[in-house]
Structure 1
């Protein structure tokens, strides 16, 4: 049986993205970060809405021209399509496990 907390590597040179479900209406993705942030090249500007929850660790989502929101275990956020955002910080001492649901 699949488990969100299994197969978390000890060494994470870059963030790990796994699609758990992907069809034309919804995409569910597991993201594992270990001190990672979004690339310096810019902001995420997505076609879909994104609902994201932290299942382990902590992370900060920064919005263009807005505040930064810190999420801990069990805390979630809905990001409307085209709201520019980036991951500004994730816990460096333990993996941060995100579950992201992208929908139209």
Structure 2
């Protein structure tokens, strides 16, 4: 199998287009995706409420991530990672316009609650 470079073959930066999502691996209980954003954000008032956990690492660009229970937006820069448990409501407030914001997202099944 040929190697895959996460930062090559990126789509053109177009904030009016949808994010690009490439499924890299899918196995029972885990799915890995590369997500490429360029100025996109969650629709106003929309909160992700996923049935699976999601661990993300930002590989390039920048983004603002907000959790419903927090009154501030977290700034994510390359190398930052966050574990988002299942049903932990969150949204992408913004992604850097004009450049590729590349996420590596690992989705996993989880029965354990959010640690306090």
Q: Fold match, TM over 0.5?
A: yes
Tell me, yes or no, if structure 1 residue 93 matches structure 2 residue 98: yes
**TM value normalised by structure 1:** 0.92
Contact 2:13 2:99 in 1 (8 A): no
Q: Which runs of 5+ in 1 are unaligned?
A: none
Q: Which runs of 5+ in 2 are unaligned?
A: 110-116
Residue 2 of structure 1: how far off its partner (Å): 1.5
Runs of at least 4 residues of structure 1 off by over 4 A? Answer: none
Residue 41 of structure 1: how far off its partner (Å): 5.4
Give 1:69's aligned residue: 74
- Which of 2, 6, 9 is 1:7 aligned to? 9
Of residues 65-74 and 81-90 in structure 1, the stretch that sits farther from structure 2 once superposed is 65-74
- The aligned runs of 1:17-32 (5 Å cut-off) are 17-32=21-36
Tell me, yes or no, if structure 1 residue 48 matches structure 2 residue 52: yes
C-alpha distance in 2 between matches for 1:7 and 1:89? 23
Q: Secondary structure at the match of 2:11?
A: coil
Residue 20 of structure 1: how far off its partner (Å): 0.4
Residue 5 of structure 1: how far off its partner (Å): 1.1
Look at both structures and tell me which one has the larger radius of gyration over its CA atoms. Answer: 2
Q: Secondary structure at the match of 1:81?
A: coil
C-alpha distance in 2 between matches for 1:52 and 1:68? 16
Contact 2:13 2:100 in 1 (8 A): no
Q: How many residues align?
A: 104
Q: Which has the higher strand share?
A: 1
- Give the CA RMSD over aligned residues: 1.3
**TM value normalised by structure 2:** 0.83
